[in-house]
Structure formats: structure tokens, C-alpha cells
Structure 1
């Protein structure tokens, strides 16, 4: 069995917080997948067997039965899947989870938590029951969207963080961080505090992540790669700086990354999950 993947953009105002809602069912391409950090956050409501997450090489693997919430990470995570997986989820913009969290995002940075820890056991149990008896993926995504709309609340500082993050995103991270606070009319300390509260990382870290992500998406693993041109075009000081960032974000050298990406393309051409996850086996 392959993978069934259905996604859609939610209606306003959720579309200002969320890139898409998705439904996923089937056999993962690999039992373990590595997800390098990206400028996004994730909510998974699990409807199948438990999955596992290792949030860094120095962290013990943890099991998640009801699902998980992952704010914007700063390190690569390893996901371990059962032979068959079934879930619905949310791909948030970096600031997206903030209106749905009972705690500052900084407390969850690189610390995935269960959905129960965020929304409580009765709420997630009831939501999972409703999702499990839904008629199909479309109805499931509607139920998830309705739950998010019901939980949406006002969040202090969200407008500031969202606008500043959008400027960072529009430049793929190539923006002077000091200029951002000046343009926003706040101190750099205040801006950094708001970012930590609502995203979990500083503006500088978000910019680094946007730059790295844009650079990776510029790589065509099917063709020859001029690493010097790629590094220079992305604004890295030199190839050594680029290589250091690559290892910090993925745990791999650039050439090893391409080898792994080519393996995924070769073994699972056209797969729904191709693009960012990497086989960890």
C-alpha cells in the first residue's frame, strides 16, 4: 500500500497562522525519517499505532500515542513510524501555534510534547473519537479546522511577530536583524522576547532557518551542483561557513545530504513525502 495524502489551506483567519491541514494514511517510505529544522511548526493528531520522535542525537527517543506538538525546531528530529500510519495534522507558520498554546513557545523549543499536554486528555480523546468516525479525509480536515477555530484566541504581540517574520521570510533570511526592530519601533530586546514567547526562537535564528531552507530547496539533487556558487548566492561567507551550517541543521555534509536525497528519489519516485524528510535508516 502507498500513502494517501490530502491537504488544504484553512479558511481565514486560520490561513494567517497555518500553511495547510493534512491527512496522511499508509505505509511510510522508511521506518525512520529525519526532518531537518525548517521555519514551520507541527501538530499531529495520531489515529493509528504510536510513533516515536528523537529530538536530537543527545535526546532519548519518546513515544507518542495521541499525537504531538512541535514548535519551530533548531535541530533535526528523527521520526520513527509503525508499518502503517494514520493521522491528521497541521503545518503551522512559525508563529502559528502561539494562539493555541497554554505556555510560551520557548518552553517547547526542541521539546515535542503530546497533544494531551497542550489541550488536556478529555479534549484530545473526544477529538480523536470524532476523527476516527468521520466519513473520510475531507470531513476529518473540516473537524480539525472547526476545533482550531474554536480554540483560536487573541495573543499579545502576535501582529508584531507575524509582520517581522514575514519580512524575514520575504528576504529568505537575508535581512539585517537590527533594522527589523527599528522598522517595528521597538527595542531589539523586546522583539527578541516576543519571538521567544510566540515562536520559541530569536529573529536571528528564524532568519538563519529561512536562509538554510531556501538554499536547500535551490538544490537540484538530480543534476550537478556547484557548492561554491550555491553558498555565495545564499549569502554565506564561504563554502566552509555553508558546510558548517549544513551540518548544524541536518547532521550531514552537503555531499552526504545529496546522496541521501538521491536515494529517496530513486527508491520512492514521486512520493507524497518527498522534498524535506530524509531516510534515517
Structure 2
């Protein structure tokens, strides 16, 4: 399977990590996805994709067209079709806010059809890219579509969230939330309220997800792994807390996860394999 992605040009790059095309035959059909510091837009141009929430009370979904996914605080599982043709956007945690015109908390831990968020559907985009073979041209059309929906006048509080969220991003969640609020000259409650509106979760939760992402992306399954050292580097100073959070976020103990990664090595240069793991 081929992943072709790039960072969009300013000002979209302040809100989007990358836009991408995913095509071909998947190496693994079923993938287990831990919480990661991003929200998503997917446009499916191929066969349906199946989704399961790790919360058993949530019914599974069959995603056929296009859908948004807000920031997730728990893992979920998806199943690729036999052949994939998918166009997507990895938003920064706060990045969906200027595109959707609704509180991000309404998209937290949810997959929502695009038609339920945007008044105009993506039919025009799908028509434009339907017969395009070039990933470069497809990404150009996708970026134009995003620009047409981008609200240049920031909504209240987004600047605050983008600035403080950027500090969490660069520090991998290591800056105390109290220090962020003090530096911004606001109360912790105000900062939390703005994060819930533009990210869907509190800054403390965002910090946890960035911290976990730093740890999981630093695992080199080809060599011995010192979990205590990795955990401490990522900011986990309580080993029991680290073990609980790791099992909660991945569904595996660190030892089980490492065995899985060694059994199914990530494809080099293939970003979707950096966090998600095979569920087979």
C-alpha cells in the first residue's frame, strides 16, 4: 500500500499536520489505533471501511463516503477493504476548529459523516478526483477544498488554544498545564473551557496523549527496549501509572506490544504504521 502525503502551505499548516492519499493492497487489514494527538477527515473513494470502538456499548460503523473523527481518548479498531483508495487529513488537535463551525467536544471519540458537519457535501470534491490517478493532483484538489472551507477569522479562544497547544506539541506534553495558563494570563478553568470547545478535551488530556505518542513512536522493536527509561524520558515518573495507561491506550502490556511489533514490523517510511498496530 502506498502513502503519499505532504504538509499544506500556510496558513493551513498551522492547523494540519499533513494531507495524504492511501492506495493499494493493505499489508494488514485490521488495525488497532491508540489515542494520538490528531483529529481526522477521511474521504473514502473505494470500498467500505469498518470501524469498532473499544467501548463495547458503541455500535460498529460501516464508513462508505466521507467522515470526520475528532480527537480520541481511547483506542478504536478499523478494517481496510481488500483494496484501499482513501484521501485524508491529519489535523492538529485544535486544527479542525476553523473548518467545522461546531464545538469540537461534539466530535470527541466519534465518527461523524461529513454531511452532518458541512452543509455542502463533498460530492464536488469526489467528482473532481474520481478519475484522477495522480496522488499529487488529488492532494492539490483536496487542499483547494480545505481552503474554500477555512474560516480565516478565528473564533473566540482559538488563538489561545493554538498557542498553548503548540507548546504541548513541541514539549511532547511535558509543560505543566498550570504553567501554560499562567504564561497565557488566564485561569486554568478558562483554558480548559477553550480546549474543550476547540479540541474536545482538556489541555491535561492533550498533554497525556502527546506524552504517550512520544513514547510509542520512540519504540525501536528491532533492538532491546528499556521500558523504564523510555517511560521516564516521555515524562512518566510512576511506573504503575505508565503500565496502566499503556494497557488502556493500546490494549496490550508493553511486553505484549513489543512482541506484536516484532511479529509485524512497521513499514519503513509509512506513517500510518507509526502508531496503529495490526489487530490480527
TM (normalized to structure 2)?
0.94
1:55–1:112 CA contact under 8 A, matched in 2: no
CA–CA distance in structure 1, aligned partners of residues 133 and 201 of structure 2: 39
2:66–2:122 CA contact under 8 A, matched in 1: no
Q: Cα 1:56–1:171, aligned 2, differ >3 Å: closer, same or farther?
A: same
CA–CA distance in structure 2, aligned partners of residues 264 and 276 of structure 1: 13
1:240 and 2:237 correspond: no
1:227–1:239 CA contact under 8 A, matched in 2: no
1:66–1:116 CA contact under 8 A, matched in 2: no
1:17 corresponds in structure 2 to 15
Output one character per residue of 1:56-90: Cα deviation in whole Å (capped at 9) or x when no partner.
24222101111221111101111111101101111
CA–CA distance in structure 2, aligned partners of residues 108 and 177 of structure 1: 23
2:37 corresponds in structure 1 to 39
Q: Cα 1:270–1:230, aligned 2, differ >3 Å: closer, same or farther?
A: closer
In the alignment, structure 1 segments of 5+ residues that lack a partner are none
1:40–1:94 CA contact under 8 A, matched in 2: yes
Output one character per residue of 1:109-157: Cα deviation in whole Å (capped at 9) or x when no partner.
001111221224x521222111113352111111110011010003221
Match of 1:52 among 37, 44, 50: 50
1:192 corresponds in structure 2 to 192
Q: Cα 1:203–1:148, aligned 2, differ >3 Å: closer, same or farther?
A: same
Output one character per residue of 1:207-261: Cα deviation in whole Å (capped at 9) or x when no partner.
0111111111222111111222222232323321110110121121111111111
Q: Out of 197-206 and 228-237, give the one that drifted further.
A: 228-237
Q: Cα 1:142–1:118, aligned 2, differ >3 Å: closer, same or farther?
A: same
CA–CA distance in structure 2, aligned partners of residues 248 and 179 of structure 1: 27
2:221–2:262 CA contact under 8 A, matched in 1: yes
CA–CA distance in structure 1, aligned partners of residues 53 and 126 of structure 2: 25
Deviation at 1:271, TM superposition (A): 6.8
CA–CA distance in structure 1, aligned partners of residues 183 and 46 of structure 2: 47
CA–CA distance in structure 2, aligned partners of residues 169 and 201 of structure 1: 15
Compute the RMSD of aligned alpha carbons: 1.5
2:104 corresponds in structure 1 to 105
CA–CA distance in structure 1, aligned partners of residues 269 and 10 of structure 2: 30
1:137 corresponds in structure 2 to 135
1:241-260 equivalent positions in 2, closer than 5 A: 241-260=241-260
